[in-house]
Structure 1
């Protein structure tokens, strides 16, 4: 081992040591997104129990209509909390916003434990939906505030990864733990967040926006293990100044109708619609029911756990593939693969419902759904939210993100609420073929309209969005400007 190699290894070890507290903060804050996934995954193993004759709940078995409201109402409720959490995070700080996100989660699980009527369960799901919407805003924001450039992309994947882990936890615990203890364990998660979050410092970026430079410098020094340089502090101070300037310069109607901003908003809403209309919400909420109806030789709960594990693996895989491959290519490949999985799943249910012998193709449901969640977990799922931060200009970014998240929440409510209705009208196979067709159409639209954002500056992307030859520049993949770092 030569001297240069030893120096490189030493530098890497020093860099990892400097980043230790950033990882600690990201893990603690991501307990909220774990709680979000936990809340979202809870419905899959519990819904069949609530509909069974031997329901463990303190109220009578529920029907399909009540089940559809329990599954979907949380998505609608999340819309109400997103503007409040955004406001509190900017005005009072990320810490206050964190407490406000966690509080409804705690109340939600207390109500679930005490529910003696389906109305109380609706109320619990609404409260949990508030927290789920707030977590989607706060966790990425807080992590983005504190992460240094070299690991911002990696720490940014913590949100999606911990949501998937929380969902997997619900699939496993909901299958093997009693209804009572499963709900108690769900309550423990937001309580654990509150305990850990108490010791986490305020975001240095927020502190700088309030003129608290000394406190911000101390926090940044803690995050960098005491090795914060004047240059890095100056860069964060400039970020804070830009943030304040963008907040003071309110987004006006003329800003929204600006060619680049309008295109960025349309693209983000289109990608959000793509992710929602792929049926991801319905499939994850009704996965146990889907496996029950398929007549698979594997138990529905075991099949769902396998799906959850693959979803987590897809999240891990996304941390590698997103930075190595282009966003646009992954979106197109993901949509095409997801559509194949949905068409196969629809074919299976069509043959089964028509009376054909499907014994020799019983592997299709588990294989198709595994492919679906893996591809969604490493393409549509994370990239959808990445693009809302990369496409808009700094001034319009907050507006585009808020509108996009509200849009996807309403869309997820409608898709999940109407799944049972559509299943009765056109059969489960019709639903899957409809979702698959949307993905095929989306891959064409993405090819024609979504620019590549990997390794490009915000200015370069905005310049391309404003171009009169925008469609041709996307198809030809010729950027309007070349980023200096890529030369």
Structure 2
């Protein structure tokens, strides 16, 4: 329930508009599933089997570089301007891909898909960091999960439209939508944190007021942000390599890389890019294009639903539950292909033809319930503010590099290892992620971005309490009237505990 809708609605609007880049990412990723079979069916220019593999995977090549390059405009021009600029890449990428039907040369298709990939790379850090920096701690998880919902919506829309139009028409449609998103983004404020870190305090206050509602008192939040900025900025200077090896930076960065790896090691993007092909190879009795629409719809619904759970149950619980069920569904998919190899395709389809669809639906339900959005939320909130742009882009680049490797070599894995072994490998990676999350990922639910930074500093709770106690005792002074030799005066003194009482009953907290 919204306790203060006037405070939440401006943040919700910023999160929705800031997340539309993920919708475009979804259309780019989802394009391959209906687009490649359509391209193969209507092909009237030279392309071979390897070209089809690379046309599917090449956006991930571009996205790797896009995620690195976007750090420059994000840092120097702002999160909002980075979002506005990256929509141009989507517009021209889809437009050039669609025009391939007139140019009759695969080079145009490659160029279009590379531009889409650059835009995809820009989307991941720019959108997620924008949404995180605009959101209040109590609803940051819910608003941060809108990005994953937008991604799922984009994929689903690509499935639906792609089922009824050819690949080039699909490209033209997806070149028009980013124009609308670009115009809406221009109406949104810059993030208060970015404005504050660039010495624009008055603008930061105005942006914060706009995001929290005109009747909300933002003094306390502004003061907290300003104090944290002054504390972290006092010794900042230029970023040195040695700074990146300190625990407050290295720990969250390593955890984020691990979560990003396991997110892609589920094979999610292989599923998205090759959903039609998976159903065809499984010999499913349901027509593949309709099966993909069902799967995409299920993914969308449960991704949205998970957004309402992430701030209620926390990041860890959702990730652990999601990984457990996802691994079971992957194992069941591998089991089907195992029996298909043992029994033959006809017998396996007759007896277990329903299993691929059920397994994929369960997979997308479980994946959407945690592994789809929580890694992105973590990336947007866990890094120290000073390094957030740089680490966010590096983390996104790593995620996209893993995506590229899996999407590009997924067909080769199916050919060399077999369908069953491939899915069993995905299941094994997902099971491993359970241990990773359980032992290494701290809970960040409901914490401010400043409090999350404190989690990774090597300051134990008892040490912080002792520091606070000593600071308080050292500054306590009393003034009282002291009568001595018929003279009155004010005496100021500091109160300390007796030496023998120091550190009494001070235990260790682990």
The two structures have a TM-score, normalised by structure 2, of: 0.82
| Pairing 1:376-387 to 2, within 5 Å after superposition | 376-387=367-378
Contact 1:31–1:189 (Cα < 8 Å) also in 2: no
Find the counterpart in structure 2 of residue 59 from structure 1. Answer: 45
How far did residue 160 of structure 1 move?
Answer: 0.8
Counting helix residues as a fraction of each chain, which structure ranks higher?
Answer: 1
Q: 2:429 aligns with which of 429, 438, 442?
A: 438
Find the counterpart in structure 1 of residue 357 from structure 2. Answer: 366
Find the counterpart in structure 1 of residue 503 from structure 2. Answer: none
Matched, 1:69 2:58: no
Matched, 1:169 2:160: no
Q: Tell me, in whole angstroms, the C-alpha distance in 2 between the residues paired with 1:213 and 1:316.
A: 35
Contact 1:74–1:129 (Cα < 8 Å) also in 2: yes
| Pairing 1:284-363 to 2, within 5 Å after superposition | 284-356=272-344, 357-358=347-348, 359-363=350-354
Identify the range of structure 1 (422-431 vs 259-268) with the bigger mean alpha-carbon deviation: 259-268
Find the counterpart in structure 1 of residue 472 from structure 2. Answer: none
Q: Tell me, in whole angstroms, the C-alpha distance in 1 between the residues paired with 2:358 and 2:161.
A: 23
Q: Tell me, in whole angstroms, the C-alpha distance in 1 between the residues paired with 2:220 and 2:436.
A: 43
Q: 1:256 aligns with which of 244, 249, 262?
A: 244
Structure 2 unaligned spans of 5+: 462-507
Q: Tell me, in whole angstroms, the C-alpha distance in 2 between the residues paired with 1:377 and 1:263.
A: 26
Find the counterpart in structure 1 of residue 32 from structure 2. Answer: 43
Note closer, same or farther for the CA distance 1:270–1:23 as it changes in structure 2 (3 Å cut).
closer
Identify the range of structure 1 (252-261 vs 280-289) with the bigger mean alpha-carbon deviation: 252-261
The Cα RMSD (Å) is 2.7
Identify the range of structure 1 (453-462 vs 97-106) with the bigger mean alpha-carbon deviation: 453-462
Q: Tell me, in whole angstroms, the C-alpha distance in 2 between the residues paired with 1:382 and 1:109.
A: 26
Q: Tell me, in whole angstroms, the C-alpha distance in 2 between the residues paired with 1:233 and 1:316.
A: 31
Whichever of the two has the greater Rg, that structure is 2
Q: Tell me, in whole angstroms, the C-alpha distance in 2 between the residues paired with 1:181 and 1:239.
A: 50
Note closer, same or farther for the CA distance 1:240–1:185 as it changes in structure 2 (3 Å cut).
farther
Secondary structure, counterpart of 1:442 in structure 2: helix
Find the counterpart in structure 1 of residue 97 from structure 2. Answer: 112
Q: 1:417 aligns with which of 404, 408, 412?
A: 408
Secondary structure, counterpart of 1:342 in structure 2: helix
Note closer, same or farther for the CA distance 1:185–1:18 as it changes in structure 2 (3 Å cut).
same
Contact 2:322–2:371 (Cα < 8 Å) also in 1: yes
1:278-303 deviations in whole A, cap 9, x for unaligned? Answer: 11111110001101111111110111
Note closer, same or farther for the CA distance 1:208–1:328 as it changes in structure 2 (3 Å cut).
closer
Find the counterpart in structure 1 of residue 398 from structure 2. Answer: 407
Note closer, same or farther for the CA distance 1:118–1:211 as it changes in structure 2 (3 Å cut).
same
How far did residue 91 of structure 1 move?
Answer: 1.0
Identify the range of structure 1 (234-243 vs 32-41) with the bigger mean alpha-carbon deviation: 234-243
Matched, 1:451 2:445: no
Note closer, same or farther for the CA distance 1:216–1:441 as it changes in structure 2 (3 Å cut).
closer
How far did residue 244 of structure 1 move?
Answer: 5.2
